[in-house]
Chains A and B, each alone.
Chain A
C-alpha cells in the first residue's frame, strides 16, 4: 500500500473554498445595507424590496421563462429521438449524426451566437423571442441527447430482447419497456436544458431583438450600469433556485437507485 500524501486533499478543499467564497460573499452582501460591500452597514431587505418593484426585471424573467419552456420542450423531444437513433443504429449516417450532436457541445458560445445572428440576418428573419427559442434549442439538443444516451448505455439490453421474444413489436417495446427505463435520463436532460437556457447569456445576447431581453441580458446591463446591491439580491434568488433544482435532481436519482436495487 502506498503512503498517502496530504497535499491532494488540502488542495481539493482549498479549491472548493475558492469555488464558493465569492458566491458566499455575494449572498451575504445582498443583505448588507452599505452600498459598496466593503464594510457591513447592517442587515437589510431593502434591495430585495427594490427588486420587486423593478418592472424591467419582471419582464425579463417572463421572457426567460417563456424561452426556457419552449426550448426545453422542443430540445427534449429532439434530443430523446436523437439518443434512441444513435443507440439503436450503427453506420455512416449515425457517425455523421453523432458528430453533429457532439460538436455543438465543444464549440465556443460566441461562435454559435455570431453564426446564428448572421444566419438570421441572411434569411432576413426579424430577431425576437422565436429566434431566441430556435437558438436555445440548438445548443440544448446535444446536452439532452448525451444525458439520454448515457442512460441508454447503462441499462440491460436483454430487457428489450426479452420483450421482443415475448412477441411485442418495436413500437410496443419502445413505449412499454424502453421509455420507462430511460425516463430518468429524459427528465435529467430536460432539467439540464432548462437551466442552460435560463442561464445562457452569450448566445442570447447575439440573437436578442428589441423586446426580447432575458434575465441574463438584464443582469449584464445592470453589471455595466453598476447597481451592485440589486444584482447581489437578484443573483442570490437565482442561486437559491438553482440549488433547489439540484436538490430535486439528487432526490430523483437517489430514489431511482433505490428502486433499481429492490
Chain B
C-alpha cells in the first residue's frame, strides 16, 4: 500500500508540471471562449458584466453563412489537392536511394522550419502587379496587363496548398515507408492490374498516414487567417479573418469569442473522430515527430 502511494506520488510529481500548465493555459482558455460568448461587450473594448444571449444572436449576420461556407469549401479543396499531390511524392521519396531520399526529406522539412510569414510574403512579391511572374505571363500573352494575380480566391488556394504540402508529405512518407511492397507484387502475380493493385492494396495500406495527413492539413486550413489577409481580397475572407476583425478593428471581444466557439465546434468533430481511431493503434506520425 505504502509502495503504491509512493509510486503514485512520483507519477504526479512528473506529470503535474505540464498537466497543470496545459490545464491552466490551454483547457481553461478554451472553456472561457464558450463562457464569454454569453457576455455582453462593453464600450471600452472589454467584456461587460452580466449574461446575455445577444452575442449569440448577433451570429445571425447575413454574411456569415457565406463566409463559413467558403472557409469549409476552401479548406476541403486545399486538403484534397494537397493529398492528391502528396501521395505520389511520398511514394517517390520512400522508394528512392538513401542519399536521394535524405536530401528530398530535408528539402521538404526546411520550409516547415522557415518563417510562415516570410514564405507568404515571398508569394506576395512574386504575384505583385510589378512582379516577375506577372511580367512573364503578360510577355507570353497568357494574361492581359490589367488582370490581377493577387487578392483573388485562387491565389489564397494556391498559397494555402503551398504552405500545407510539407505537413501532408511527412506523415504520408512515414506510412509509405512502412508499407510492404511485396504485397503489390503478390497482388499482380495473382492477376490484378497495376492500377487495381495500387488502389485496393496500397491506398488502404497507408490509410493511417492518409488520415493523419488529412487532419494535419484540414484543421489549420479551417483556422487560416494570415494567408487570406495578406494575399486575399474581400471575396476570399474566411472565419479567421472575421475573428481578427472583431478583435482588432471593432474591439468586440464577446463577438469574436462566439465565432471562435463556432470554429472550435467545427474543428473538434474531425479531431475526435481521429483521436478515437488513434487510440486503437498508437504511433501515428505527427509532424513534430517526423522533423526531429
A235 close to B115 (CB less than 8 A)? yes
Pair A38/B131 contact, Cβ less than 8 Å: yes
Minimum Cβ distance to chain A for residue B54 (Å): 17
Total contacts A to B, CB within 8 angstroms?
Answer: 268
B234 contacts partner chain A, Cβ-Cβ < 8 Å: no
Tell me if A147 and B292 are in contact (CB < 8 A): yes
B10-18, B62-70, B140-148, B149-157: which one contacts chain A?
A: B10-18
Q: Which residues of B contact A121 (CB under 8 A)?
A: 46-47, 253
Chain B residue at minimum C-beta to C-beta distance from A11: B88
Q: B264 to chain A: which residues have CB within 8 Å?
A: 111
Asked if A2 CB lies within 8 Å of chain B CBs, one says yes
Write the chain A residue with the least CB distance to B216: A106
Quick one: CB contact mask for A209-245 with B, threshold 8 Å, 1 for yes? 0000000100110010000100110010011001101
Q: Which of A20, A25, A81, A235 contacts B132 (CB 8 A)?
A: A25
**Chain B residues near A39 (CB, 8 Å)?**
135
Answer whether A219 and B271 are a contact pair too, CB < 8 Å, given A12-B93, A114-B243, A138-B25: no
Q: Given A77-B17, A106-B271, A110-B223, are A192 and B243 also a contact pair (CB < 8 Å)?
A: no
Contacts of A135 in B (CB 8 A): 25
30 contacts between A and B (CB under 8 A): A8-B91, A19-B108, A23-B118, A23-B119, A36-B131, A37-B128, A81-B15, A82-B17, A84-B14, A93-B15, A100-B22, A102-B275, A102-B286, A106-B271, A109-B225, A114-B256, A116-B25, A118-B32, A138-B26, A146-B289, A192-B292, A195-B113, A216-B115, A220-B117, A223-B121, A223-B124, A239-B118, A242-B113, A242-B114, A243-B110
Name A residues whose Cβ lies closer than 8 Å to a Cβ of B. Answer: 1-2, 4, 7-9, 11-12, 15-16, 18-23, 25-26, 29, 36-39, 77-79, 81-82, 84-85, 88-89, 93-94, 96-97, 99-112, 114-119, 121-122, 134-135, 137-138, 141-143, 145-147, 149-151, 170, 185, 188-189, 192, 195, 198-199, 201-202, 206, 216, 219-220, 223, 228, 231-232, 235, 238-239, 242-243, 245-246, 250
- B-side residues, CB < 8 A to A, are 10-12, 14-15, 17-19, 21-23, 25-30, 32-33, 36, 46-47, 85, 88-89, 91-93, 95, 104, 106-111, 113-119, 121-126, 128, 130-132, 134-135, 162, 165-166, 181, 184-185, 188, 194, 215-216, 219-220, 222-226, 230, 240, 243-244, 247, 253, 256-257, 260, 263-264, 267, 271, 275, 286-289, 291-292
